[in-house]
Amino acid sequence: NAGVTQTPKFQVLKTGQSMTLQCAQDMNHNSMYWYRQDPGMGLRLIYYSASEGTTDKGEVPNGYNVSRLNKREFSLRLESAAPSQTSVYFCASKTGGEFQPQHFGDGTRLSIL
Amino acid sequence: GQQLNQSPQSMFIQEGEDVSMNCTSSSIFNTWLWYKQDPGEGPVLLIALYKAGELTSNGRLTAQFGITRKDSFLNISASIPSDVGIYFCAGQYRYNTDKLIFGTGTRLQVFP
């Protein structure tokens, strides 16, 4: 009963390094999302994918790229990490149709030194 | 970017007390959601509200969709230690939208 699985759970990077965060869901959901969560703030949407083959910018896309590899997987890439990208990153997914909530993974804690 | 105003920011209560928190927005939402986040985990959906004025319960939790569609509140009755966590409201502008707007969270501590 995995749901939404994120890897890695923790990562420390140096400024300028690149990194790809992985997300996979086993619920056959159409839509997938990447959020970041900073202290004292709610989750903010970085990118989302409404269906396989499509991606769109969210609220805070700068410095990130995404790939919807297939229906199951949605990755988030930091090409040149900056200290401002230190955060907890959450992936979520939902099925189509009205009244369907988003299901979240347990997060990736990323520190940029 | 837009975030919902959620209050209070934190609460420290004794076991058995009731809790109330709310969320307000300058925009109208079609859906309000309440999530709970435990330490080291992702948010988990508690209650979803789909109609203005709707009052929905989930065990000791009760939430209401404000009649103006710009606010929502969550009540927890007879709190227990496992209620500890951060509670987030989230709003959706329309059904089946791809975007949620989250509140800033209410951190709840329950003392035995």
Range scoring the smallest mean pLDDT among A28-32, A92-96, B97-101: B97-101
Quick check: A100 and B96 CB within 8 A?
yes
Whole-angstrom distance, CA of residue A32 vs CA of residue A75? 10
Quick check: B1 and A44 CB within 8 A?
yes
| Among B58, B87, B95, B100, the residue to mutate for chain A (most A Cβ within 10 A) | B100
Residue B2, pLDDT score = 66
Whole-angstrom distance, CA of residue A91 vs CA of residue A45? 10
Q: Could you write out the DSSP letters of every residue in A17-59?
A: --EEEEEEESS--SEEEEEEE-TTS-EEEEEEESSTT--EE-S
Q: Which residue has the tokens 């035995």?
A: B112
Reported as a single tens digit per residue, the pLDDT across B34-93 is 999 998 889 999 999 989 999 999 999 999 999 999 999 999 999 999 999 999 999 987
Quick check: B88 and A44 CB within 8 A?
no
Whole-angstrom distance, CA of residue A24 vs CA of residue A43? 19
How do B10-14 and B106-111 pair as beta strands?
parallel
